[in-house]
Amino acid sequence: MSGLHVSRVRTLYRRILQLHQLLPPDLKALGDQYVKDEFRRHKTVGSEEAQRFLQEWEVYAATLSQQVNENRQNSTGKVCFGTSLSEEKLNDFRDEQIGQLQELMQEATKPNKQFSIAESTKPKLG
């Protein structure tokens, strides 16, 4: 992300991963992988795209933080994360982004969990 202060990017990246610690395990695993891929994919974008990228992820972090707090205060035990995208926002997406969004939705709504958190936390021998 040329032209942007590296510490701003790193701070936002760490903040998002810290917020993901508060998600259910399957959402955390999915979210962590998606964030890592997206930040890696946008390392070399131009200044204007990098600015837009960071703004959108800052909005995500603020929204997720608010939802985490609301879910903590919710006594029903039902957790709710996410938000609907407006038609205007969807129309701004490139075809590649729409494809990514569809893949993410399919992964997030699969009935059989794809992630085995227990396996990834086993200590390595040797």
Can you give the pLDDT at residue 2? 47
DSSP 37: H
Can you give the pLDDT at residue 126? 46
In whole angstroms, give the CA distance from residue 62 to residue 59.
5
Can you give the pLDDT at residue 1? 55
Can you give the pLDDT at residue 17? 97
Nearest by Cα to 115 from 38, 27, 37, 36: 27
What are the respective helix, strand and coil percentages of the chain, to the nearest 5?
65, 0, 35
Can you give the pLDDT at residue 10? 93
Residues of the chain with pLDDT under 70: 1-4, 112-126
Can you give the pLDDT at residue 115? 45
